[in-house]
Amino acid sequence: MPTIRKEIAFVLNDVARLMKTYADQSARRYGATRAQWAVLSRLNRCEGLKQSELAELLDLQPISLTRLLDRLAENGLIERRPDPNDRRANRLYLTPAARPLLDRLTALGEEVMGQVLDGLDDKAIDRLHADLGVMRENLRAAIGRTSPTTDSESSKVAAS
């Protein structure tokens, strides 16, 4: 019988998966995908990122991100500018044409999260936010403690 602690992992996974599905469905209203929405939102927060930095933040493979960026650039929503310090790299910026879409997606995000959090009062939402932040930091610390030796030992065990 699973413990409540283990059950939390399943519920978190289900919530994340369902939120992705719902965000994809919602973004279609504006001819966008959840992935495009995520790129635009992240660039809105941190314009001037390199593609590699954005890929890491979004946990995307560089080739997948390149296709997304190509499509957004073709639609006139982002632009790639040469990095003045690294001639091999480009920096990513939103274009003025992205602002109206981003405004609609931001409002949509508020609407989506209103539905997701329906039934929770402000105090519960604040606590949930804080608790998820603690969990994120615990995971970052645990990942940081994982050494290459531990990873290769795990690979050996998995291969056996």
Assigned domain for 83 exists: yes
1 pLDDT exceeds 80? no
Task: State the CATH number of the domain containing residue 34.
Answer: 1.10.10.10
Assigned domain for 146 exists: no
Q: What is the mean pLDDT of residues 139-147?
A: 87
Assigned domain for 90 exists: yes
Q: Which of 96, 88, 113 is nearest to 44 (CA)?
A: 96
Assigned domain for 133 exists: no
Assigned domain for 97 exists: yes
pLDDT tens-digit readout, 111-135: 999 999 999 999 999 999 999 999 9
144 pLDDT exceeds 70? yes
Domain that holds residue 32: 4-116
Assigned domain for 129 exists: no
Assigned domain for 84 exists: yes
For the chain, how long is the longest CA-to-CA vector? 58
> What is the β-pairing status of strands 86-94 and 49-50?
antiparallel
Question: How many domains in the chain?
Answer: 1
Backbone angles phi, psi at 3, to 5 degrees: -80, 165
User: What's the whole-model pTM score?
Assistant: 0.78
Q: What b/e sequence results for 145-154 when a residue is b if at least 16 CB atoms lie within 10 Å of its CB, and e otherwise?
A: eeeeeeeeee
* pLDDT the model gives residue 146: 82
38 pLDDT exceeds 90? yes
* pLDDT the model gives residue 62: 86
